Amino acid sequence: MTSELGKIKVNSIVFLVLLLAISGPSWSQFSANKMACWPQEWWIGMKYNKVQVLIKGNNLSTARAAVSHSGVSINDQYGAKNKDYLFVELDITKNASAGMFAIRITRGNTPVGTVNFTLRNRTNNYFPSPLTGADAIYQIVPDRFANGNPDNDNIIDLFEKADRSNPSGVHGGDIQGLSNAMNYIKDLGFNTVEFTPLYESNQLILSYDKFAPTSHFNVDKRIGSLNDIKNTIQQFRNNQLKVIITQVFHKAGNQHVIFQSPPDPDWVFKRDLLSLEKPNPLVYVDPYAAQEDIDRHSKIWESFDRPALNLQNKELKKYLVQHVLWWVETFQPDGVKIDQTHLCHPEFLAQLTQVLRDEYPNLNILAAPEAKDAGLNAYWQHDHKNKFQFTHLTDGPLKEAVNDAFAAYSDTHEALFPIYQTLASDHIYNDAINQIILNGDNHHSTDFLPWQKKIWPCLNFIWASC
């Protein structure tokens, strides 16, 4: 598996930008007379038919909701700790009628407002193709690939504008550029594409990578419209290109409403401004880990503008589970990759992957943990005691061994032994040939570019063994 771009580092941040990133309210569109809800739509006939709708408005926690739509009832409702939110659980029967209906909000006998909710019929032709050892996967950061529609480079209500002179800025790549390049991708020898996140990311800096969502239920307009992305994914799949989408669970952008005005303060961990500690990728794997270490690991922010989310909060778990169901049902990919799996709480992942497996038995669910040892990597595979339902794992241990073996400083003969040793450890996996994915590099690492004199032996190894 190969990637299109490695991680770009930022060396400095202007103080004014830092100040705005901390204090700038991106949720100011919510006024006393306007309400919003997430999700805004669902599908009839899903096994996950009790949907938690999060409604935001002015002073809603003491209000009540009511619906009048065939096959839909309110199973439960209660105010959030934040007075501006109301949780409403809709029970959607298989006989419900498709269409839009109003969720009416009142306080006593006084109308407060309404939010619209849409029920859709499911399609009957969604059949994800299995990923096997025969697949070659091209990981693509859409903003860095090809600009097929310059008209969406600068969106008026999104902070960052296109600036190709800025290595860390938005460069203008989009879904139209990917659509135009479909045959090029196939000609390179790839039969599968993996898109890095497509979320709206209205951050002040580094919004090109979309790993800091500012809306879990919107796509980034600089990449394209929802229909553009949906049609391109369908185009790829119709032309024998499998599609994997990437989802992020352990963090969000600090311009997200759930950070700026969380329903419950417990949704987002407070940042320890005095700590420069990095997460420990082994803490969830370690059966002897102290609870103090687990708690500290969970709460570490990746950066000043990417807060860590509390994946053990009951309502947040439902919100995040529902958001990935929304993405799968809307875009119908062949697979879903859980970014930085080792930073997500195992109990949450067990629940998430079980829901996905129940709803989509043939969906490929990829884990991407950071692990340098096969025994630690195998913790995340299906049938482990934590009952994960992952179908595939990235091969971090082999990635490390290959990087070391073909580095400029290595003695090739001695360095090849760790590769042999890592491959010999494949017995620990259920089906290493079809379930373990070698990613030479990815968006979280520097580019995989071996020393020039060793690049051909390295490529020969990758293509001969994978």
Answer whether residue 297 is part of any domain.
yes
- What pLDDT, on a 0 to 100 scale, did the predictor assign at position 387? 83
- Residue at which a domain ends, from 121, 140, 171: 121
Answer whether residue 393 is part of any domain.
yes
Total residues belonging to the chain:
466
DSSP string, 31-54: -TT--EEE--EEEET-S--EEEEE
Q: Are residues 334 and 432 in the same domain?
A: yes
Report whether 57 contacts 80 (CB < 8 A). no
What distance in Å separates the CA atoms of residue 308 and residue 433, rounded to the nearest whole number? 34
Q: Are residues 7 and 89 in the same domain?
A: no
**Domain range for 227:** 2-13+126-465
Q: Are residues 205 and 290 in the same domain?
A: yes
Answer whether residue 23 is part of any domain.
no
Report whether 193 contacts 242 (CB < 8 A). yes
Answer whether residue 25 is part of any domain.
no
pTM above 0.85, yes or no: yes
Answer whether residue 171 is part of any domain.
yes
The enclosing domain of 67 has a CATH number of: 2.60.40.10
| Residue 195: closest CA among 342, 334, 384 | 334
Answer whether residue 29 is part of any domain.
no
Q: Are residues 406 and 270 in the same domain?
A: yes
The enclosing domain of 346 has a CATH number of: 3.20.20.80
pLDDT in tens, the chain (466 residues): 444 434 333 333 333 333 333 344 343 334 445 899 999 999 999 999 999 999 999 999 999 999 999 999 999 999 999 999 999 999 999 999 999 999 999 999 999 999 999 999 999 899 999 999 999 999 999 999 999 999 999 999 999 999 999 999 999 999 999 999 999 999 999 999 999 999 999 999 999 999 999 999 999 999 999 999 999 999 999 999 999 999 999 999 999 999 999 999 999 999 987 677 888 889 999 999 999 999 999 999 999 999 999 999 999 999 999 999 999 999 999 999 999 999 999 999 999 999 999 999 999 999 999 888 899 999 998 866 668 999 999 998 998 888 888 777 777 567 788 888 999 999 999 999 999 998 766 666 665 555 566 677 777 777 776 6
Q: Are residues 77 and 180 in the same domain?
A: no
Percentages helix, strand, coil for the chain (3-state, rounded to 5) are 30, 20, 45
- Residue at which a domain ends, from 90, 121, 152: 121
Answer whether residue 21 is part of any domain.
no
Q: Are residues 363 and 415 in the same domain?
A: yes
What type of residue is 51?
A: V
| Residue 448: closest CA among 462, 435, 437, 434 | 462
- Residue at which a domain ends, from 81, 98, 121: 121
Torsion of the alpha carbons at 326, 89, 256 and 56, rounded to the nearest 10: 130
Q: Are residues 213 and 81 in the same domain?
A: no
Q: Are residues 72 and 210 in the same domain?
A: no
Q: Are residues 168 and 94 in the same domain?
A: no
Answer whether residue 44 is part of any domain.
yes
- Residue 72 corresponds to which tokens in the numbers above? 């839909």
The number of domains in the chain is 2
Produce one character per residue of 137-164: b if its CB has 16 or more CB atoms within 10 Å, e if not: bbbbbbbbbbbbbeebbebeebbbebee
Q: Are residues 141 and 55 in the same domain?
A: no
Q: Are residues 333 and 247 in the same domain?
A: yes
Q: What angle do CA 310, 380, 328 make, to 5 degrees?
A: 65
Q: Are residues 90 and 139 in the same domain?
A: no
